[in-house]
Structure 1
């Protein structure tokens, strides 16, 4: 089955969804999509469409939808991961794995030991990694790649969300049950060298 991503698109049964040019080129040249082939359309916001491939003039591609399903919201708990930008290709690996694990978003966390901000170009590339992971896993909701955020600002925005700190010296994490925790969950992960002592105190003092 061919899987295509049309960001933010709204569509219904019986409609033809025109595939963006970059997606169409990949589908035709690499995937070698054929007319009538089964296809899945994702919009990254919970809308899924199933249908058949249609070739349009000018080597363009569309999907004629036979069935459309809207998922009302991301499954709980909605997990937001706040972690520093890894070095080199591990940034892409992080985004890919978080998407496969079902996280809702990743925020590059700025700490004393990891204050490197991702460039706009890198954030755009990581956004494309998130799209590829969304297509590969056929995930209805796209992982959001946020702008970088200093730790202090991240701690100021904790209201209403259960927060946890990934700390090798910390206690064992208890089992999470939907009835015991809010629908939103935030996970703080430190840099390679770990959080500074005062940062750990600030995180613990915030209720994580």
Structure 2
């Protein structure tokens, strides 16, 4: 029996044609033809059973045969804000794995000790879409452009907010213990600094803006590993 393939189609219920990238994959790689079944996902909570109605050259048309609303896999909203590493491959890996684990929002921070001040999200968006399809996530995470640290922490944000850092002179609490006291329906945001950590002034600024000072355990992690460690704790608390 042929495996039913999933395609990411925003507004799938209001159009009848796969986007160009998805159509190319459907026709050139999977060799779908008229009458073949496929599953569509719109990234906002719905799956659709569909049937190919036209497969010609670069065009793949479909008709929806059933709509399957999905239930959220976790409560609340989970967000990571991270200072991107110098090597983009590490951020690409983090974004892919965070999407597979389950996250709602990924933001990027321009910090005092940041190794990278500019980030292009086009390729990261494609990685997110691929991971959404692979892991069968009904909601596509929101991917934000890089933002200055002070602007991010000063922006009003709902729910519980944490900043992870390695300064022993600033009191810190274990994130997992803190999450055990958080209502599962609450939004949670965790800030992850660059390899050189946040500056002490940045940590103090975040605390003044309502962020709780936390650590991720006794190990010291690379930036992208710290983000996934924090995300797993967030998921386990839901």
TM alignment of 1:126-145, pairs within 5 A: 126-145=124-143
TM-score, structure 1 normalization: 0.84
State the distance in 2 between where 1:96 and 1:112 align.
26
State the distance in 1 between where 2:50 and 2:96 align.
27
1:11 counterpart residue number: 13
Secondary structure of the corresponding residue to residue 82 of structure 1:
strand
State the distance in 2 between where 1:149 and 1:188 align.
13
1:192 aligns with 2:195: yes
Secondary structure of the corresponding residue to residue 125 of structure 1:
helix
Q: How many residues of Structure 1 are paired with residues of Structure 2 in the alignment? A: 202
Q: More helix per residue: 1 or 2? A: 2
Gaps of 5+ in 1: none
Matched-pair contact (CA < 8 Å) for 1:2–1:37? no
Secondary structure of the corresponding residue to residue 89 of structure 1:
helix
State the distance in 1 between where 2:173 and 2:195 align.
20
2:103 counterpart residue number: 103
State the distance in 1 between where 2:157 and 2:9 align.
33
Residue 73 of structure 1, CA deviation: 6.8
Structure 1 residues 22 and 111, CA, compared in 2 at 3 Å: closer, same or farther? same
State the distance in 2 between where 1:178 and 1:43 align.
34
2:183 counterpart residue number: 180
TM alignment of 1:1-208, pairs within 5 A: 1-7=4-10, 9-11=11-13, 17-71=16-70, 75-86=74-85, 87-114=87-114, 116-119=116-119, 122-167=120-165, 170-172=172-174, 173-174=176-177, 176=179, 180=183, 183-207=186-210, 208=212
Structure 1 residues 166 and 144, CA, compared in 2 at 3 Å: closer, same or farther? same
TM-score, structure 2 normalization: 0.74
State the distance in 1 between where 2:74 and 2:148 align.
28
Deviations for 1:31-63, whole angstroms, at most 9, x for unmatched residues?
Answer: 233443331101112222112333334452133
Residue 74 of structure 1, CA deviation: 7.9
State the distance in 2 between where 1:180 and 1:72 align.
19
